Amino acid sequence: MSRRGSQGSVDARPRSWRSRLRRLLPTAGRPARAVVAGFAMAVGVGTALLSLPVAAASRESTDFVHALFTATSAVSITGLAVVDTGSHWSTFGQVVILVLIQAGGLGIMTLASILGLLVSRRLGLGMELTAQRETRSLQLGDVRRVVIGVIRLSLLFEVVIAVVLGARLLIAYDYSPGDAVYSGIFHSVASFNNAGFSLHSDSMTRFVADPWISLTVSLAVIAGGLGFPVLFEVGRRLRGPHRWSMHAKITLGATALLLLIGFVFITASEWRNEHTMGGFGVPTKLLAGFFAAVMPRSGGLNSVDVGEMTSASLLVQDVLMFIGGGSGSTAGGIKVTTFALLAFVIVAEIRGEPTVHVMGRRLASSVQRQALTVALLSVGLVMLTTITLLSITPFSLDEVLFESISAVATVGLSTGITADLPPIAQVLMSALMFIGRLGPVTLAAALALRDRPRRYELPEERPIVG
């Protein structure tokens, strides 16, 4: 087609996918600002509601810092707590926390899935991609399918988990029907959304020998940590793993490997520890070890006392928490895909290969730079936080490093020092949970969606490395 004259001229060329996206999602041109504003508003509303006297069991207003910390922890689906959830908050307060967890979980899964669809235009979602590949555009119907799909899948998992937990509590633990239903729903939402909140002061330690509770919660955390794109793709192509996308294969493979490594190392380290697993029989030790290996991916619950674990176990959990779960999921961390891609880059460099090949595909250099950026910025944030907390608190390096990674990776596990942190440290931890939840998502999206062509290249030079 040709352009018209200067009067009333229009460009009849197809609109780029970016311009189409801005028409569909007005804030997509500046995703970071819109996302941060939305989640900050949720934190503000949650803080205001939790500060009300009706939100506390004592009917007295909760301290602002404690309300802010709890609201941030719930919205960022972390699970760190400065007050006991079951005893400090009234039913109203607990429902507010539950709603914040659900909103945060759905928001993160929806946001990450849509941004992932924007970046790759293909996450195995089966959304009539032929036209999309031709026009390089994102259609409004695709966004609608993602949002509806996330909500439906989340509610399906949460209902099934709540039924299993509620039935077990009713049958085996003499809960009243109302308490069993309420506890089942609360822990179902918390576990699937990878939020470490529990109505029990000892988290899940009372259920350490109960496979019905422990395995159900563990599987819920794993499912939530895989992410909507992977769950949807696996569900549609269950009998055709060879047709799964690279993203799904990497996420599932890396998740299985990390769970196995965590299970072996943590169980071996705690096998004879009388303060954790030493007094249990072999089946309970194995069950507790599996539970402890699952929770660092961002679950945040515990069936043994984390504060009594060996330094080796804490260090293994530090690594697992930092890596986190799958992209587009409720889990935190730098994500298993980022970790796996960096591993592939290292292997290719060791072999002296000019490009990185993964599962029959060449890995784009831009993706390699994005993974490296996310990982190194996260390392820097953890180190800065650890140094700051060491300077303003009396706790040991093991405790402070564990707490810092748990906040930055939005995990929720703690050695028990959270409530004893000074107010300034609790405010700092609130900021870390907020940054840790939104930072990797918005940063990765900004890096991937950025397109700044360079019209020239400078002469090449190779400095000495190592």
What is d(CA 340, CA 335) in angstroms, rounded to the nearest whole number? 9
| Highest-pLDDT range among 51-65, 118-132, 226-240 | 51-65
Given a cut of 80, is residue 14 above it in pLDDT? no
Q: What is the mean pLDDT of residues 69-86?
A: 92
The predicted structure's pLDDT at residue 373? 84
Tell me whether residue 370 is in a domain. yes
The predicted structure's pLDDT at residue 382? 93
Tell me whether residue 81 is in a domain. yes
Q: Domain span at residue 357?
A: 17-449
Q: What is the mean pLDDT of residues 243-270?
A: 91
Tell me whether residue 104 is in a domain. yes
Per residue in 421-464, pLDDT (tens digit) is 999 999 999 998 988 887 665 655 555 555 566 677 777 777 76
Tell me whether residue 460 is in a domain. no
Per residue in 124-166, pLDDT (tens digit) is 444 333 333 323 334 445 566 777 777 888 899 999 999 999 9
The share of the chain scoring above pLDDT 90, in percent, equals 52
Average pLDDT for the chain: 82
CB 325, CB 195: distance < 8 Å: no
Q: What is the mean pLDDT of residues 195-210?
A: 93
CB 47, CB 34: distance < 8 Å: no
**Model pTM score:** 0.83
Q: What is the mean pLDDT of residues 168-189?
A: 94
Given a cut of 80, is residue 238 above it in pLDDT? no
Tell me whether residue 114 is in a domain. yes
Model confidence at 119, pLDDT cuts 50, 70, 90, reads: low
Which residues, at least 6 apart from 198, have a Cβ–Cβ distance to it below 8 Å?
85, 86, 187, 190, 204, 301
* Residue whose C-alpha is closest to residue 148's, from 117, 116, 175, 110: 110
Model confidence at 40, pLDDT cuts 50, 70, 90, reads: confident
Tell me whether residue 6 is in a domain. no
The predicted structure's pLDDT at residue 197? 93
Please tell me the least confidently modeled range out of 231-240, 304-313, 404-413. 231-240
Give the type of residue at 100: L
The predicted structure's pLDDT at residue 445? 57
Helix 228-236 to helix 140-172 angle (10° resolution) is: 90
Given a cut of 60, is residue 2 above it in pLDDT? no
Which residues, at least 6 apart from 457, have a Cβ–Cβ distance to it below 8 Å?
none
The predicted structure's pLDDT at residue 331? 83
Contacts of the segment 121-124: beta carbons below 8 A, 24+ positions apart? 121/17, 122/245, 123/229, 123/233, 123/245, 123/247, 123/328, 124/229, 124/232, 124/233, 124/236, 124/237, 124/244, 124/245, 124/247, 124/248
Tell me whether residue 25 is in a domain. yes
The predicted structure's pLDDT at residue 26? 40
Of residues 119 and 250, more confidence is placed in 250
Of residues 458 and 79, more confidence is placed in 79
Indicate the number of domains in the chain: 1
CB 76, CB 101: distance < 8 Å: no
Q: What is the mean pLDDT of residues 23-28?
A: 43
Which pair of structure tokens corresponds to residue 61? 């207003």
Please tell me the least confidently modeled range out of 8-22, 124-138, 154-168, 394-408. 124-138
Tell me whether residue 456 is in a domain. no
What is d(CA 37, CA 43) in angstroms, rounded to the nearest whole number? 10
